């Protein structure tokens, strides 16, 4: 019989009591919160008897709308953790003048690594993927994406990666190598612990999911457009989603290769990224930023599409410069692959090479500027309504322009050499992603929420959240520009220069506003659910919409469109309202085929997550079992022949005619009543 020392590694690998987060009161509290929260959710679902409902209606669903909503839920959960971690870092720096503060250096390094990794890979990517999943087929006049099962697999791979990030908070320590995971900080010699392994496998699962999503979105746009919708009748959001999908397809594989090679270096002793054995750490930097800079535009292009929809919609005006916006979007997508070397201007390459990439970086500002001017001209002479989504769009245009100008400064290699490792870079990066990505996703969440759930979000709390997000961003990050010019290094746990202190205190106050913004979003959702009868918009058109998704009920039926639309204009629903054909009396109905639920995605994604956990802790039997279960799920699915279900035409006719009858009884809302309880989802035709 084996001794404890003999059988423990066989069963639990290197997992031991030391893996529990007792090295810090903050870590212990955070881990306890995660565990208690998980237990509370499980207990609540059990008490309500909702496990079966959750499994049937959500977890195994192949409905693109539900998958999109689940992506957004993941993003919101991860946003909550990342905002708290970012606030802890800002608070640490606010008290860190000649003072070790309350965070140990290693814990601080873990926080900036988890914060960055979560915000990019498990907040931003799921958020934009969820919004695209939800809105894109509706805007195309389609019933679903091209590959519903692949969509589910992508979701659950993302959920598995996010789960690994959450588990790392409870068991073991995370990487201290930052969100980019550079060796040697993440190689086995420098850091033999589990942290880099958590990062590698979480990011790998997320990158595989995003690659699949890119393929799915691109094929959906190519193949699923409704009759009459040629590419130049697509809404701008569809165009930005297409360019984003193409970037995903070509930019994510270098990241997957980089994390795979790094794993081989750590697990079997290869030398891809070590200085001995023929390796080169710059290979990792090149692979990572071949992904990393297109990733910036993967994050921002969907938000550009959202802003295009929001600004046109709430200006009651056709989008100015539609063709130029498309060309600008495609230029940004192409140029994004030509600028990655600006991320290592300071790493020793020649001045000539730096000049080439500096010029390319400055060039990418031109199509972005075209977009800003087009949005401004869309609002010009329009009837602008200052709803919550429009407020985010306006704040974006001001703050993002500031961030873009600082990007032009950083595109100069001489300037970049001075401030690259300072908090100036932190300010610039957040200046692009918070007003650009985060404001855009919150605007999209607010804009399309009624289409998902049948009622609007509370306007007042939405404005409170908006005010806190903007105030918090300005206070937390704009002071970092002068701090960077003064020489404050980034990733600093403690500093000894008194001149930094006023700015770090202001940034700490800004972090409090960001926490308040996050709390306001939660309160807004709770208040909206309680007021859902007053906020209900069953007519389907609460915002005087211009695109196809506003011509169906709120919430959208599972089949999206009772009859697939045929369009003859760019803003198809607006044109139909003007012609009086938006709600026709007579339609010809037919049976609709939709994919049946499948547990394949759940099993595949969570099995690979379990395998990754086994690899992190050297629990080899769990790793092998997880891989076998994932392969088994795909093999088992290949034997399933009955994958579709039919909704009879008569059922569709009854539902559609009942909705049309309801629409005829609803009062019409105008711009004055749009944000009041009088808005029941039947809007007047827009002016232009």
Q: What is the pLDDT of residue 67?
A: 98
Which residues, 6 or more positions from 85, have their beta carbon under 8 angstroms from its beta carbon?
111, 114, 115, 118
- pTM for the full predicted model: 0.96
Looking up tokens 């805007």 gives: 139
Angle between helices 148-170 and 125-140 (to 10 degrees): 160
Residue 671: pLDDT band (50, 70, 90) is confident
Under a CB-based contact definition with an 8 Å cutoff, are residues 560 and 224 in contact? no
Tell me: pLDDT of 688 over 50. no
% of the chain beyond a pLDDT of 70: 99
Greatest Cα pair distance, the chain, in angstroms, is 84
Cα–Cα distances (Å) from 516 to 82, 437, 519, in that order, read 14, 19, 5
pLDDT for position 473: 97
User: What gap in Å lies between CA 296 and CA 294, rounded to an integer?
Assistant: 5
Per residue in 481-535, pLDDT (tens digit) is: 999 999 999 999 999 999 999 999 999 999 999 999 999 999 999 999 999 999 9
State how far the Cα of 415 lies from the Cα of 399, in Å rounded to an integer.
21
The DSSP letter of residue 182 is -
Task: Determine phi and psi for 306, rounding to 5 degrees.
Answer: -60, -45
The whole-number pLDDT of residue 483 equals 96
**Minimum mean pLDDT among 201-205, 351-355, 512-516: which range?**
351-355
Specify the 3-state DSSP secondary structure of 271: coil
What is the per-residue pLDDT across 594-603, written as a single tens digit (0 to 9) for each?
999 999 999 9
Helix 195-223 vs helix 236-268: angle between axes, to the nearest 10 degrees? Answer: 150
Q: 211, 253 in Cβ contact below 8 A?
A: yes
- How confident is residue 687, by pLDDT bands cut at 50, 70 and 90? very low
Q: What is the pLDDT of residues 384-439, one digit of tens each?
A: 999 999 999 999 999 999 999 999 999 999 999 999 899 999 999 999 999 999 99
Cβ atoms of 194 and 616 within 8 Å: the answer is: yes
User: How, if at all, do strands 644-647 and 592-595 pair?
Assistant: antiparallel
Tokens of 239: 């165009």
Query: pLDDT at position 5, please?
Result: 64
Tokens 């908090």, located at residue: 423
DSSP designation for 491:
S
Residue-wise pLDDT tens digits, 355-369 = 999 999 999 999 999
pLDDT recorded at residue 672? 87
Question: Is the pLDDT score of 91 beyond 80?
Answer: yes
Calculate the average pLDDT of the chain: 94
Q: Which two tokens stand for residue 552?
A: 């169906």
686: pLDDT strictly greater than 70:
no
Angle at alpha carbon of residue 271, lines to 268 and 277, rounded to 5°: 120
CA 222 to the chain's CA centroid: 23
pLDDT at 225: 96
- 206 preceded by a cis bond (ω within 30 of 0): no
Q: Is the pLDDT of residue 1 over 50?
A: no
Tens digit of each residue's pLDDT (9 = 90 or more) over 558-611: 999 999 999 999 999 999 999 988 998 888 999 999 999 999 999 999 999 999
- What are residue 593's phi and psi, to 5 degrees? -95, 130
What is the model's pLDDT at position 683?
Answer: 85
Q: Classify residue 646 by its DSSP letter.
A: E
Tell which CATH classification among 3.40.50.620, 3.40.640.10, 2.30.30.180, 1.20.210.10 matches the domain 49-536.
Answer: 1.20.210.10
The closest of 510, 535, 537 to 460, measured between CA atoms, is 535
pLDDT recorded at residue 344: 86
| Residues paired with 592 in a beta bridge | 647
Higher pLDDT, 9 or 480: 480
> Using CA of residue 627, residue 628, residue 632, residue 635, what is the dihedral sign?
positive
């Amino acid at each position: 019989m084996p001794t404890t020392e003999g059988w423990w590694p066989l069963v639990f690998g290197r997992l031991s009591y030391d893996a529990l987060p007792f090295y810090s009161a903050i870590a212990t509290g955070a881990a306890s919160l995660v565990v208690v929260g998980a237990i509370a959710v499980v207990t609540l679902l059990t008490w309500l008897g909702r496990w079966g409902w959750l499994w049937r209606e959500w977890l195994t669903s192949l409905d693109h709308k539900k998958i999109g909503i689940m992506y957004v839920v993941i993003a919101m959960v991860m946003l909550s953790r990342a905002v708290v971690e970012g606030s802890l870092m800002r608070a640490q720096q606010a008290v860190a003048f000649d003072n070790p503060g309350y965070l140990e250096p290693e814990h601080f390094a873990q926080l900036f690594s988890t914060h960055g990794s979560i915000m990019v890979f498990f907040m931003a990517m799921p958020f934009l993927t969820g919004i695209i999943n939800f809105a894109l087929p509706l805007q195309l006049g389609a019933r679903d994406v091209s590959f519903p099962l692949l969509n589910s697999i992508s979701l659950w791979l993302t959920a598995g990666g996010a789960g690994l990030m959450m588990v790392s908070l409870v068991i073991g320590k995370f990487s201290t190598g930052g969100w980019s995971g550079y060796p040697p900080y993440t190689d086995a010699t420098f850091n033999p612990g589990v942290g880099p392994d958590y990062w590698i496998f979480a990011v790998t699962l997320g990158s595989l999911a995003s690659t699949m999503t890119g393929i799915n979105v691109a094929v959906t746009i190519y193949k699923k457009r409704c009759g009459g919708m040629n590419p130049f009748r697509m809404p701008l959001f569809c165009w930005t989603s297409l360019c984003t999908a193409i970037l995903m397809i070509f930019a994510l594989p270098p990241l997957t290769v980089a994390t795979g090679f790094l794993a081989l270096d750590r697990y079997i002793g290869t030398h891809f990224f070590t200085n001995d054995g023929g390796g080169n750490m710059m290979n990792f930097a090149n692979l990572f930023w071949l992904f990393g800079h297109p990733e910036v535009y993967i994050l921002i292009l969907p938000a550009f599409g959202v802003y295009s929809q929001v600004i046109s919609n709430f200006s009651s005006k056709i989008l100015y410069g539609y063709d130029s916006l498309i060309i600008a979007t495609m230029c940004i997508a192409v140029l994004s692959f030509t600028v990655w070397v600006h991320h290592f201007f300071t790493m020793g390459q020649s001045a000539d090479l730096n000049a080439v990439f500096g010029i390319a970086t400055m060039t990418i500002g031109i199509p972005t500027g075209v977009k800003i001017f087009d949005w401004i001209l869309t609002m010009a002479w329009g009837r602008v309504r200052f709803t919550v989504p429009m407020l985010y769009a306006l704040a974006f245009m001001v703050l993002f322009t500031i961030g873009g100008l600082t990007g032009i400064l950083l595109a100069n290699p001489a300037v970049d050499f001075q401030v690259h490792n300072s908090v100036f870079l932190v300010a610039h990066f957040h200046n692009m992603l918070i007003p650009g990505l985060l404001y855009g996703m919150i605007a999209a969440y607010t804009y399309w929420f009624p289409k998902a759930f049948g009622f609007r979000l509370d306007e007042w709390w939405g404005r409170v959240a908006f005010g806190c997000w903007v105030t918090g961003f300005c206070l937390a990050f704009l002071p970092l520009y002068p701090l960077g010019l003064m020489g404050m290094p980034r990733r600093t746990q403690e500093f000894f220069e008194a001149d930094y202190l006023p700015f770090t205190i202001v940034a700490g106050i800004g972090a409090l506003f960001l926490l308040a913004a996050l709390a306001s979003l939660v309160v807004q959702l709770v208040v909206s659910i309680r007021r859902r009868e007053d906020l209900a918009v069953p007519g389907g058109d609460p915002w005087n919409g211009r695109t196809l998704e506003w011509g169906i009920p709120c919430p959208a039926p599972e089949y999206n469109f009772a009859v697939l639309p045929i369009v003859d204009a760019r803003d198809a629903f607006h044109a139909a309202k003007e012609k009086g054909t938006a709600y026709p009396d007579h339609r010809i109905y037919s049976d609709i085929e939709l994919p049946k639920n499948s547990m394949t995605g759940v099993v595949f994604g969570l099995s690979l997550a379990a395998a990754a956990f086994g690899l992190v802790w050297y629990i080899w039997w769990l790793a092998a079992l997880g891989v076998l279960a994932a392969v088994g799920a795909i093999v088992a699915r290949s034997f399933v022949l009955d994958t579709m279900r039919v909704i009879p035409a008569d059922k569709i006719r009854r539902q559609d005619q009942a909705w049309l009858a309801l629409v005829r009884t609803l009062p019409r809302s105008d711009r004055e009543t749009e944000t009041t309880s009088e808005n029941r989802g039947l809007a007047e035709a827009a002016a232009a």
